[in-house]
């Protein structure tokens, strides 16, 4: 770590925790078949600092370790220049600078999502799972070259004001955002799942859209009601 960068013990603790989490989350991309070879990446914003961690460039998923995750500034510069971060680092940095609510990002070239990207089509909201997770269609982002900030700019322009946590970038693949890295990974998994299902449905014939009022209701239920609620202190009291 650069000697010029002074970090508090709390921030250093966050960095150590996130390094381990990112190794686990990259393994989830492999487990769900979202990546091949060394393509794809997960990043996580460091709480309390203008920094994020991201996968190193060109490193096999089997070889990833907590120490191999590259710490970067929000300008996309590696804190330790001896290790090269992902080629998508500039775009991740752009998203973090312009979407402060985002604390995790994922990029994959998953098969069915890429098929939609190659067709330059958004994925229409024709499944309740899409309404639940994405609140509508998964939008199409613009074509952009890899290596700078252009992809990040397209992600921000497409997802700002949109309920979807995923965008299909034209001729490229999926980019997802989340409140943390785990939620961004979940969005990537769900994006590929619905991309596959809708692709297969389209092969059989015309898909039937879900009415907007039903989409709104499904999204609200899934985001605000579904799952377990945190236990209150009164719930935990043992009565005689």
**pLDDT tens digits, 7-64:** 999 999 999 999 999 999 999 999 999 999 999 999 999 999 999 999 999 999 999 9
Name the pLDDT band for 6 (thresholds 50, 70, 90): confident
Annotated active-site residue in 16, 75, 80, 226 = 226
Mean pLDDT of 148-173: 98
Sequence ranges of the domains in the chain: 9-224
Q: Determine the pLDDT at residue 236.
A: 47
Name the pLDDT band for 209 (thresholds 50, 70, 90): very high
**pLDDT tens digits, 81-121:** 999 999 999 999 999 999 999 999 999 999 999 999 999 99
Mean pLDDT of 208-233: 91
Annotated active-site residue in 32, 61, 132, 222 = 132
Q: Decide if 50 is catalytic.
A: no
Evaluate the CA torsion angle 187, 74, 83, 173 in order and state its sign.
Answer: positive
Q: Decide if 63 is catalytic.
A: no
- The CATH number of the structural domain formed by 9-224 is 3.40.225.10
pTM of this prediction?
A: 0.94
How high is the mean pLDDT of the chain?
A: 94
In DSSP terms, which residues pair with 106 in a beta bridge?
Answer: 42, 176
Phi and psi at residue 99, to the nearest 5°: -130, 80
* 94 touches 27 (CB < 8 A): no
């Amino acid at each position: 770590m650069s000697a010029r960068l002074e970090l508090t013990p709390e921030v250093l603790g966050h960095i150590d925790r996130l390094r381990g989490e990112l190794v686990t989350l990259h393994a989830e991309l492999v487990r769900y078949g979202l990546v091949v070879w060394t393509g794809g990446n997960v990043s996580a914003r460091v709480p309390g600092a203008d920094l994020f961690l991201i996968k190193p460039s060109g490193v096999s998923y089997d070889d990833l370790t907590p120490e191999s995750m590259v710490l970067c500034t929000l300008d996309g510069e590696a804190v330790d220049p001896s290790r090269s971060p992902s080629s998508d680092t500039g775009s991740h940095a752009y998203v973090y600078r312009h979407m402060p609510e985002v604390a995790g990002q994922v990029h994959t070239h998953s098969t069915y999502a890429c098929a939609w990207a190659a067709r330059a089509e958004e994925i229409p909201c024709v499944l309740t799972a899409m309404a639940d997770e994405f609140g509508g269609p998964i939008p199409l982002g613009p074509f952009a070259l890899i290596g700078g900030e252009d992809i990040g700019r397209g992600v921000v322009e497409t997802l700002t004001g949109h309920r979807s946590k995923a965008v299909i970038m034209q001729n490229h693949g999926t980019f997802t955002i989340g409140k943390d890295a785990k939620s961004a990974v979940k969005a990537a998994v769900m994006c590929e799942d619905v991309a596959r299902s809708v692709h297969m449905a389209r092969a059989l014939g015309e898909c039937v859209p879900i009415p907007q009022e039903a989409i709104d209701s499904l999204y609200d239920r899934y985001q605000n009601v579904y799952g377990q609620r945190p236990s209150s202190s009164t719930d935990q009291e043992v009565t005689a």
